[in-house]
Amino acid sequence: MDQYRIKPATKVDLGKFDPDDKSGWEGSKKDAEKELAGLAARLDELQEAMYAECKHRLLVVLQAMDTGGKDGVIRAVFGNVNPQGCRVASFKTPTSVELAHDYLWRIHQQTPGKGEIVIFNRSHYEDVLVVRVHNLVPKEVWQKRYAQISAWEKTLAEEGTTILKFFLHISKDEQKARLEERRVTPSKQWKFNVGDLKERALWPDYMAAYEDALSKTSTKWAPWYVVPANRNWYRNLVVARTVVETLEGLKPQYPKPPADVDLTKVVIE
């Protein structure tokens, strides 16, 4: 999946990334779904060992335009993982208490502990995306945040957190189709928000903001992946493969019993 990884100091033009791309898979959709099921099972095994070992931390950041599929990725990729060692953190409009602190204060509290996987459903990047697009702070303020975010992520990485960041890239036409599906489908109407249409009107501004964020904050210690997300099954496959390959690279191991205990001699009555 390295073809979707943004190399450090790369100038990103999202117009050159095809949201319909599926070049990482030569089989059928059905075959991909079987592959995903196997990856989900493997992720469960790796997470169980990671939780038991209590050594590594994994932070997964999901960003996307509205309807981009963040919830879908969480269900499809992480749905089989033991929730004891995996949780989701969502970031809505900051509260008055959160606004009284620096913008990373509420984020840092949600980072993973040893043995834990944490998925950010939206993240600290909202402070260089929506904040920028809606002019919520002056330009001279949000411009500084790219370097601040990279430095903060480097601190996490140096302290033992592995970071993966995914931008789920959909086309504007695909977003329109998904919003229309929400509008007319009773089981999805609860997710329809008229405010999403106002955000959709700002599509060019958001693309420019995302391009800057991807260009300036994809680093060796916290890489961005631009995931083609028009096809849900392929989007899920890309994320699952990347997460599983990353965890396999960490080689989590179940801890051995205490050296002073011989389990072959333990009698359970």
Give per-residue pLDDT as tens, 96-126: 999 999 999 999 999 999 999 999 999 999 9
Annotated domain spans of the chain: 2-265
Cα separations in angstroms, 168 against 20, 132, 159, 187, 225:
11, 20, 27, 23, 8
Residue 264 confidence (pLDDT): 77
Q: Is the C-alpha dihedral spanning 9, 165, 251, 41 positive or negative? A: negative
**One-letter amino acid identity for 99?**
L
**One-letter amino acid identity for 119?**
I
Residue 48's nearest CA partner among 100, 18, 86, 9 is: 86
SS3 212: helix
pLDDT band at 261 (very low <50, low <70, confident <90, very high): confident
Give the DSSP H or E segment for 87. Answer: strand 86-90
pLDDT band at 269 (very low <50, low <70, confident <90, very high): confident
Residue 74's nearest CA partner among 63, 88, 85, 84 is: 88
> What is the dihedral angle through the alpha carbons of 57, 58, 59, 64, rounded to the nearest 10 degrees?
-170
pLDDT band at 262 (very low <50, low <70, confident <90, very high): confident
**pTM given for the model:** 0.95
The Cα–Cα gap between 152 and 158 comes to 10
SS3 168: strand
The Cα–Cα gap between 239 and 233 comes to 10
Residue 127 confidence (pLDDT): 97
Residue 70's nearest CA partner among 61, 79, 57, 80 is: 61
The Cα–Cα gap between 147 and 156 comes to 14
The Cα–Cα gap between 57 and 150 comes to 18
State pLDDT tens for residues 215-227: 999 999 999 999 9
| 90 beta partners | 121
Do the beta carbons of residue 69 and residue 170 sit within 8 Å? Answer: yes
The Cα–Cα gap between 42 and 149 comes to 31
The side-by-side arrangement of strands in the sheet containing 224-228 is 86-90, 117-121, 57-64, 161-169, 224-228
| β-pair type (161-169, 57-64) | parallel
State pLDDT tens for residues 4-49: 999 999 999 999 999 999 999 999 999 999 999 999 999 999 999 9
pLDDT reading at 260 higher than 90: no
pLDDT band at 62 (very low <50, low <70, confident <90, very high): very high
Architecture of the CATH domain 2-265: 3-Layer(aba) Sandwich (3.40)
**One-letter amino acid identity for 152?**
W
